[in-house]
Structure 1
Amino acid sequence: MNATGHLGTAVRRGLLALLLWLVTGPAQALCISPLCSCSVTTTHVVFGSYNPLTSGNTDSTGSVRVSCGGVAGLLIPYQIDITRGGGASYGARRMNSGANQLAYNLYTDNTYLTIWGDGSGGSQSVPGGILLDVLGLSPPQTHWIYGRIPGAQTTAVPGGYVDTITVTVTYN
């Protein structure tokens, strides 16, 4: 996440604009062409405004969508990993606005209990798979990313906070 802006304590009651960028390039399945081909697209986790004086959490969602086509009956298993971004660890992801930071995290589901990462540091990868139907198609698989900014981060200052996360899909 990227961040800009810094205002004093008197303006802390203002709202903070937040954005999480999910970065991915074109992905291809590791299979013999023309047996199959896959693609991956992502949507951003956009938190919108955050008020540091409220105790409630600010939640948002993004997604990773995997699509494949090829030979009917072909099973294409995969694993989705995401980086920790600018944070020191998966448990301590941080968005930045200049020198200012705001804690947040990304989760595998809406219980906000399992941190999405690469399987290290208390995080988990997300497994998936596509079985191609009689036409060699299958509906795209959408994996939701659940983002949460904990409430009452009273040291946060107004500004645009951003972090950059890289999504990696590994075809097994």
Structure 2
Amino acid sequence: MPDVLVIYASKMGSTQEIAEAITAHLCVAGLSVDLYPAEDAPDPIGYRAVVLGSAVYLRRWRRPALRYLRRHTTTLRGLPVWLFQSGPCGEHDASEGIPTPRAVRRLIDRTDAFEPVTFGGRLDPARAAGALARWLSSSKELRGDFRDWVAIRGWARGIAGQLGAGEPHLAHEAGPWRP
């Protein structure tokens, strides 16, 4: 059984790419990792830790991520669980975060998960799904890729360190991991 289960709920692919980068960094650190979309993720029994991330739209997490947390509350309570959320777009500093949605707050209290870290998102007009996303992507201020890959790698490195894994190789410092 792998050490870490990484789960994501993505709408337009940005959160999935963040989860893939986290997975790659944990693997480079020597951990064995399984990566799944939230709707297909297995029960966390047998894993040493869980990382779960969701895109945030209108201050809400994607339903598959919330369902996973609800469905596995008891098992997750006994594991270290790191959460991340992605979505802020624009020139503002994503590290200031966005408020943790109420539904997520209640599940954090039940699972003892760590507070979610917030990463900037990507708004690509070519991938905009839905009227709201198309409207938002028409704004020059919001359109673009606002993910901070250095911060994402640093966060993954911190998780690896807390799990007793080695330092990731510097070869991955140049840019985001791609399959």
- Scaled by the length of structure 2, the TM-score of the pair is 0.27
| Greater Cα radius of gyration, structure 1 or 2 | 1
Q: Which has the higher strand share?
A: 1
Q: Between Structure 1 and Structure 2, which shows a larger proportion of helix residues?
A: 2
